[in-house]
Structure formats: C-alpha cells, structure tokens
Structure 1
Amino acid sequence: MTTTPTYEELEAKARALELELAESKKQDNTIIRLLSEDFKQLADRSQDAIYQFDIESQTFPFFNQQFLSLYAMEENGVKILSPKSVLVHIHPNDREKVKAARTLSLQPQNKIGEAEYRFLNADGSQRVMHDRWTVVRDHGGQPIAIEGFIRDNTWRKQAEKEFERSIRNSLIGCYIVQDATFKYVNPEFMRITGYSEEELIGTDPLNIVQQEYRRQVNENFIKMVKAERIFPYEFCISDKFGNTKWILETATSIQYEGRRAALGYFMDISKGKQVEKERLAKEKLLTALELAGAVGHELNNPLQVVLTCTEKLALVSDDNERSFRLHSLLKKNIEKMRKIIHKFQNITQYATKDYVDGKKIIDIDAASSKTSRK
C-alpha cells in the first residue's frame, strides 16, 4: 500500500533536486570556462591576428594577443582596441580599398571577404597584411559580427619582389601564367615576341603560338606543370611583326600572389635551327657532290667508248637514209648525255625540284648554276 508523501518530504526532494541541478550547472559552466580558456590560449599562441568584431556595438568582444599588440592604441597607459585604432594602422592610400571590401562582404549574398593592405608600424615602417574574414548573420540574414584572421605577408611580398627582380634581369624569356592568362612577362620575353607588356598581360598565352602547334604546346605545358614531363619542347610562334620563330620552352608550378600559377622559361632557338638547317644543307650538298663525282667517273669512260663507236659506224651507214637518221639521233643523245655528266661534275649547291607523287629530286640545272631553287 503506497502512502502519499507529505509536504515536507516533497519540499525536501525539490530542494535536493535544485542542489543537484545547481551542481550540474556549475560543472557545465566550469567545462565551458575551461574550454574557453584553452581556446584563448591556443589563439594567443597563433602568429596570426585573430579577432571578432560586433557590428552593433562597434567593439571587439574577442581578440588574441597578436591582434592586440598590432592594432591597439595606448591611452593613459592602457591599450585600447577600437575601429579607430585599427584604422590608424592602415596606410592612408589603402583605407578606402579595405572599407570597400568590408562593405561588399556585408551584402546579403556574401559570406566572406578579404583585403590586402599596408600596415603602419609605430616607427613608420610598413608591413603587408592579408585580412580574411567571415560574416556572422542572425536568423533573418542580417550581419551581426565579423570574425577574421590577419596574416603578415611581408616576407612573401619581399620574396615575390626578389623573384620578379631576378627573372626581370634574366637573359632568358620568362613569364607567369595564372587563370590561363599572362600575369607577368620579363623584358627578354617581350623582346622575343615583339609585344609590349600592356599587349601581353591578361591575354591567352596560346595566342602567339602558331595554330598547328597549339594543341601540343598546351598538352606539354600541363604535363610539365604537373611534373609528368621533364624534357623541354619546341614549337613555332609568330611575333608581332609576323616573323616565325622557333622556341624551346620549359614550365614549372609556383605560388604567385598567394595562389597557384605557372612559370615558363622561353628561349629563342631560331638561330640554332638556322644553323642546323645549314648543316643539313651542307650534308646534302656533300652527298650530291659525291654522287656527281661517282656518276662522272663511272659514266664518262663508257660514254667515250660509245662516242668512238658511233663515229666509226657513221662511215658505213651514210648510204642508208634510215641508218643515217638513227645514227644522227644516237649521236645527238650521246652529246646530251655528255652535257648532263658535265653538269654533274659542276654541282656547287644543293637544289631540288618537284617530282611525281609529291617527291623531290635533285635539280641538276639549278645545282650546277649560281642560284638554287629549294
């Protein structure tokens, strides 16, 4: 049989439950406080400046030590953080750019924003800062806070300047491609192509490549950037003045302005190609001369015998009209053969002419004269 608890018993149970809930809440608060302290310590160890900015109150509810040391102003011996203290550390010529980026990020369709600007140190020196932030919104989509990370990119900018200085003074044509367009070209590249920096920047690199080479150049370029190819490749370009130039190129993947890009090394090998062409022409000429010498030597003596026999046959063939005509024809063609052999012996250059089925043969007349027809 159950008994109904008295009022005093119910009151005691309620008090005990309250104590239990209070203890549980105290433990939860302790855990939250410990987690917050751990996060704060982690944030303070970061080399990036971390902050949270409340839009309504125009205050910074959260910031790490790096943000405080960079952007605070000292008033009466106390470091104060405010929108004004942040603004005075931004170079005057960059303030409007930063404000515009912040305003753009607060528009309804945007969730993030970023800006790079020059930071002014107390001693007047400058750094380059890259600020990236996330916009926090309420259930209605209205922006209520901004949470961001600011990274010191001074070393990267200096490295990029040193890199650009080195390739600018390079004796080899160099260029940087990003988003399939030229982002940088050095003076030697402009000299080779004949185009100015203004004409090249922002254009497709394949525009200067001759049409029949574009597909292969694109494939080789991608393979080199992906480290799937290690050997340079050759192709032809048309410079600004319509001249054809032979190019030897290599490419590699780099970081440019904080993003992936490709660096190309671009060498004009047209003179080398001309030297190679002349070398091949000399080899062909040597072959033609050797052939001509062999033909002249091997055919000259037999031809003299044929010519002598023809002269003797003429004595017995004068009475026969048909024999006379055949003798005259034979003598005429023997003379023609003699002249051809003479031309072989006087070959001084390599020249060809078109033959059947797209083939070419040695042009004896041109090869034995002062001018040649290639």
Structure 2
Amino acid sequence: MEEITLWVGLAIEIALIIVTMLIISSHLRNISKNKTNFQLNEQYYKSLFEENPDAIIIFDLDGKFVVANKAVTIYGYSVEELIDKPFAGFILPKDLERVTGHFIEAVEGRATNYECTILDKEGFQREISVTNIPIFVNSQIYGVYTIIKDITEHKKAQNDLVEAEAKYRSLIENSLVGVYIMQDGKLVYVNPGLCEMSGYTCEELIGLNVADFIYPEDLPLVNENILKRFNNETGAIKYEYRAIRKDQSVITFELYGSKIVYHGRDAIIGTVIDITERKNTEKMIKHMAYHDQLTDLPNRYLLREKLNETITDSKQNNCNFALVFLDLDRFKSINDTMGHEVGDQVLMEIAERLKACVNDKDIISRYGGDEFSILLPGSEEQRASIVAQQIIAKLSYPLTFQHHELMVTPSIGIAVFPTHGESFDTLIKNADLAMYHAKSLGRNNFQFFNKELNKKAQHELDMEVNLRKALEQNQFVLFYQPQVNLETNEIYGAEALIRWTHPEKGIIPPAAFIPLAEETGLIIPMGEWAIRTACQENIKWQEAGYSPVTISVNISAKQFFQSNLVEIVESALRETGLNPNYLELEITESITMDVERSITTLLELQRIGVKISIDDFGTGYSSLNYLKRLPIDKLKIDQSFIQECPHDINSNTLVRTIIIMAHLLRMKVVAEGVETEEQVSFLLGQGCKEAQGYLFSKPLSVSEFETKYMRKRLGK
C-alpha cells in the first residue's frame, strides 16, 4: 500500500508538471511559495487525471499497472482489477513484440506514439492509440506514463472508407457504363468502359477537349447542358447526344452528369451509356410501324400523319393538294390462282412503277392489300390528272412471273382539298368512292370525286345490308338451265343459277349482286347454300321418281380456295343422300392456273366422286399445261365463241380446236350460249354433243323446270 501511495504521489508530481506547462503556466513561479496554490494545482491534477476521457495509466519498469484513471472502465475493467497486472496480457499476440519494443524505448527515456490492438474484458478487439512518456525523478526513470485513446470507431470508419473506395474503384473500373470527370472543358478521368465505347485509350482521352469528339450538330446542346450544370440550374441531368469514335463512326450516348468538387475545383462527374443499338432499334421499330413491310412504302398510319400535316400547311398557305387513291383490278384473282408469293412480287413491282410517276415531295403509300395512295402537295386537278395518266401508262406494260404474262390495270379515284373534303377521313372516303366509280366504268381509268358518288355509295351499302339479310331470311333461290344432248335432244343435266327474290323488287339477276358478294366475302356462304340446295332439290326429284340428272353448281375462286370446301361438299352429299355422280362443280379457268394449290382440292373432290368442269373455257389465263395434270371431266366453251359460229372463221377455228383438244384429253365438251340451229349443226359436225342455251330453254324456277322437263321425261 505504501508503494502504491508512493507511485500516486510520484504521478501527482509528474502531472503537476504537465498541468503546470499546459494549463496554468502563469502559476508555476508561485507553486513552491504558496501552499494554497499547491492545493489548487492538486485539484487541477485530480480533475485532469480522473475526469480525462482518455485512459491514463502509470506502469512500473516491469510493465505492470501501478495506477489508472477511471476511463479504463470503457474496456470493461475496474482500476482494482488492473493494478499489478502486466500489460502484455491485454495485447494481441501479433502486436505484442512491437508494443514491448515501444515500452522498452520509453523505459530507456524516449517517448513513443503507436497504435495497436487490445482485448477488452468481453474478449472484443479494440483499436487504441498509445503515447508512452518516461517518468523522470531526479534524472532517473521510475516508470512509464501512458495515455490511451480508443480509436476503434475511427479505425472502423477508416477501414470502411478504404473498403468503400476499393469497391467504388472496382465498380467504376469494371463497369460496362462509361464514367468520366470533366474539368475546364477537358477530361481528367475516364474509366475503361468509356475507352471501349469511344475507341480511344485512357491516355488519349485524358486531357482531351470534349468538343473534339462530339458530333458538330450536337455540340451546342452539350455546351448548354454543361453550363446549366455548372450554374446548378437543373442539378443532375440526363440527355442524349452523338459522339464520334476514334474510327470516325458515329455513336449515340445517353449521358447523366452532376456537379462536384474535384481536387478543390468545380468539375462534372457523369456516366455514359452507348445507346446506338437501342436508337437504331427504335428507329427500325418506328420505320416498321410507319412503313409497309413488303414494299417499304409509307403505310396508312404515316399517310394519316403526312396528310394531316399537309392539311394544316395548305390552310395556312391557302393552297390545294390532291389525294390519288388506286386499286389494282382483279388482283385478288392473281392471289387466288397464282398464290400470294406471285401476288407479293406484283405489288413490289407496282410500287416501283408508281415511284417513277411522282417527284420527291409526293408521298406514295400502300394503304392496304392492293390499294395504294399518292399525296400530291400543292397540286390541283390538272397535275392530279397528269399523274393518273402516267400511272395508267406505266402499269399498262405486262408483268411476267413464273412464265405467265400478267396484265395489271388500276382503277384510280382522286379527291382535291378543300373542294372534296377538309379532313383525312373525308378525303380518303371520297377518293375511295371515286376509285370504285372508276372501277364500275370498266377499270383502267381515273375519276374525280363528285357528290353523286355519295348517293351511289349509299346504294351499295344498302345493297350489302340487304344481301346479308337475304341470306338470313332465305331470299335466294336456284334456277335451272337445262343441258341437252344434241344428238337425242334430251336433257341429261342442268346448271344451277342463283337468283335473289327480293320482297319488294322481285327477282334480281346475278349481275346485280354477285360482284358485291365477291367483294364482301358473302359469296362464300352463298356458294355453300347453293351446293346444299342443289343437292336437296336433286334428291327430291329422284325420290319423286324422276330420272336422275346431273346438276352443276358454280364455285367462285374465293370459295374454291377456302380450306373446308371438300368438307362442305361431303357434308351436303351425306346429309341429302345424293350420289356424287349427280353433282358437278364448275370452276373458273383462272383457278387452275395455280396447279400446286388447286390440284390437292381437285383430287379430293375426284375421290369423293364429284365431277369437275371448267366454265367459260378460253376466256381466262389459258395454259394447256394444267389440263394434262388436273382431274378435269369437262370443258365448257364460252358463249362468246359460240355466238359467232358458224359464220366467223376465227371463232370456228377456236371452237374446233377446243373440241379436238378436249377429246384427245378424254374430256367432254359443252357449248354454252347456243341460240340457233346453225350453231347446233356446226357443233355436231365438230363432235360436240352437249350444249345449253336459250335455243333450248332459259333458266327456269324449280317448279317450271320440274313441269317442263322432269315430268316430260316420265311422259307425264
């Protein structure tokens, strides 16, 4: 106890010296003279020693604790627990040798500062900063005065900062995103990502003026945004600009930057993303959205935008423009007979020919299907007429595909702003009406819109509505035109012809509604109805005891190429019980042009037992090749050839050739439109034994046909 008291006294004396130097130097001269001041200084020491937030310890020369202030409790120990224990027990083994060396230096009279790691009472590591001061008494060292600062949190923060900086640097250096720091208009830092994007090395970029690799047209934008960021007008901002790579190719960057202080001066730090591919993709998607995929012409959506812009400009400048709308005549038959591949080639060729008819300011668009439109800004009727005439002339040259020579003619309608409309929808509608008017006048011509066309359009709309209603209300009936054996003068069959029995207008002939039915697609349900009805009425005649006859039903190209034609025929035969031998399907010559598409359906129909004939032979796209490949039973010579017989040599030659060819191919021949006995004699002389026409009978209703022919065959 006396030794501790001695050390405490010694510590007090040393502390008084330190306190006297740092805090109360003005009182040093009076300490030895004034007892009161000594007591006061003793209180100063106690406050400095006991209340100091840093641990203050006195070690003897052997490194054992002699005395400590209460700050040591932050390590979990009381002062009493530490007294007379060596410091070595609290030092981590890795630091012990180094700490011991510092202690020896203090014992030898040299003050030292160092850092090390100790264990607190709970076994946790604590980082400390240590100051060892030798204690001199009369020039002799009696111990070591140690001040300990706990720097655990400081070291942790320091380590966290180093770790964060390492992570940041690793992230930046390995990032796919370009990173830069710009100062005074020059790059002072770039990461490898930016080097890869730009094609430059880091050394080449550092110190480079940003204006040296920015696309000239975008430089004002870049400078404006740099100024805004330095002026803190927008804070961190993002924008796009084009840059020039080292290889002089142009790329698009998306840049995000903000103001910072770098090495004590204002700078801009930012990230750069190469969005060239994205911009190209967006451009491609936009192009695809506004252009026709087949012809690469603007589509109807881009036409709407351009036409609306032209309307606005024309109103502001008080000028006119014209909208030309054209449709390719009979194009659907090309698709139906030769396939869509040929149809696509035709459309691409038409697009190229249209380009030759206009100038750079005009806009050609594929409106849809086989419809094209041409916007003629600043044009009136006169120029529109000239362009329409050029189109007709350009399209008059035949097209050759798959060894077939095709003629594609246009029907053209024209609307002029503002006379024929002041909005997109009105102009398109009126140009479309004018186009249909041109088609009704024989095709291959152009017409301007006029008010009378609205009335006609309304009539056709009403007609379509009535056609649909006619299907729903069973207003259609079949008439039958007898087919006669010219040698026996007896009927062997009949052609079923559809008629519309309108409740108010009476019987409407096919020419008045079949074209509209084809256009609207109603021909498909009408054709299915005709097949079923012909089968039903034929089987009724047989069940009534009449001799069987073959009924032929016309099949349109659209109906023929629908996927379920064979199923429809099979269903009609199965439901009615009609023998397939008594059903004949008449197809148009154009259907047989696409041999690959038609042969499958024809073979299926042949398998069922249905007969196949080609109607109006000689008027379509004639090709002898299909006749030897397709399962055709009969050729029907078109009435236009028969009408001139036997007085026209050319007609005679054509008819004779068709008959001989059919016989050589083991096909039957039927002559249509026979009206005179001379024609009968001529046909018999050429070996044609079957015919139909007004010489024998006009088309008859079911009851008339039954009374005049079916009963007569039974002698009733």
Question: Which range, TM-score by smaller chain?
Answer: 0.3 to 0.5
Q: Which TM-score applies when normalising by structure 1? A: 0.40
Q: Based on CA coordinates, which of the two structures has the bigger radius of gyration?
A: 2
Higher relative contact order (CA 8 A, sep 6+): 1
Q: Which TM-score applies when normalising by structure 2? A: 0.23
